[in-house]
Amino acid sequence: MHLCHHALCCFVPPYMAETLQDSDDPAVRQIALASLGNEYRTARRLLSAQPLSASLLGQVAGKERYVFDMRGASDPLPGNLLRREGDRPVDDEAANEAYDYSGDVYDFYKDVFDRDSLDDAGLPLRSSIHVGDTFGSSMSNAFFNGKQMAYGDGDGTLFTRFTRSLDVVGHELTHGVVSFTSDLDYFGESGALNESFADVMGSLISQWKYNQTAAQADWYIGKDILGPGASIRGVRTLTGQKAYANDPNFGTDPQPKHYRDRYTGTRDRGGVHINSGIPNHAFYLAAIAIGGYAWEKAGKIWYITLKSALSRSATFEEAATATIAIAAQLYGNESEEQTAVRSAWEQVGVV
């Protein structure tokens, strides 16, 4: 198993790999040690991508998907073309999941926000599946490298294939939306906001797909990628709870839900995967207070904020101020929606 934990926008955070390294289970420790030893070489190997032929660059607006297979492919990404827009399903579950779920992400952004792909100009959605390291181990993660998606198959025990989860696909492709909008710097509070927008939109895409109201959704992220040996409910949660606690393998979820409890160290690029729990919970509180379908009002406020109201180095306070102002622009000053947004940020200690 290989867990990438570098500057790429990875779904499984580095603190999980570090905790697995301290597991009481020797097999789990060995998995983590192998992962930590190989991750830097694998990261450098996958950071670049092969130039795409003109036929794969995308010539017109609209949904356009490509799925590549890294098994038996020479490095770097993307691999061997397996399925393209309009092709029938292939005999590979991961390929069909990557194809279908990236289509759902496209449809969500188009139908809900009238956005044409990640760049709002029909950028083709490219996915590489069965990504692993040079030693034959499958990657237990998914990432967006600035050009495309890459998915590992997991170790089969703690993690299964990463194409199985719509919220994971939505999370990672939203990193692409971030890069074409506010382009939040991937460090400190701006990096935590980057991760939070990806979590929020990943959750909303799943809720939209399955027609769930804010009250009906469970607000867990990554539950579908957990393998039979994992006893936790999800990788993260936007609720006020811990996603997991005192787990023999994963330990306790370190994400804070209040600004006073924020991580201030240098790990995880200044806590981008850790402190994202604070704005995540603010969104959850706002969505629950507003009610109904979370993508219709709370999601719209957050999307417009991401699209047009943040600098690359935005702080939590700046994000709070922007969402409160945009709620007023959309629904009126002192409206129920603005009051819900302001209260949410107050409850997490940001304003």
Question: Domain ranges in the chain?
Answer: 9-179, 188-347
Whether the per-residue pLDDT at 155 is higher than 70: the answer is yes
CA 162 to each of CA 93, 101, 120, 154, 221: distance values in angstroms, whole numbers, following the listed order: 11, 11, 26, 7, 12
CATH (one of 3.10.170.10, 2.40.50.140, 3.30.300.130, 3.40.50.11820) for 9-179: 3.10.170.10
Q: By CB neighbour count within 10 A (0-12 exposed, 13-18 middle, 19+ buried), where does 312 fall?
A: exposed
Superfamily of domain 188-347 in the CATH hierarchy: Neutral Protease Domain 2 (1.10.390.10)
pTM for the whole structure: 0.91
Q: Could you tell me what percent of the chain has a pLDDT over 70?
A: 86
The catalytic residues are: 172, 273
Is pLDDT of 139 > 50?
yes
Residues 295 and 189: their CA atoms lie apart, in Å, by: 24
Choose the weakest-confidence range: 65-69, 146-150, 302-306.
Answer: 146-150
CA pair distance 286, 331, nearest whole angstrom: 14
Could you report the per-residue pLDDT of 217-233, keeping only the tens digit for each? 999 999 999 999 999 99
Q: Which of 53-57, 74-78, 89-93 has the highest mean pLDDT?
A: 89-93
Q: Where are the alpha helices (DSSP H) in 58-146?
A: 93-113
- Cα gap 14→19, rounded to integer Å: 9
Left (φ > 0), alpha (ψ -120 to 50) or beta: where does 203 sit? alpha
Instruction: Quote the strand ranges of 33-130, DSSP E.
Output: 65-69, 80-84, 125-129
- Report the pLDDT averaged over residues 48-56: 47
Please state, in angstroms and rounded to a whole number, the distance separating the CA atoms of residues 86 and 64.
9
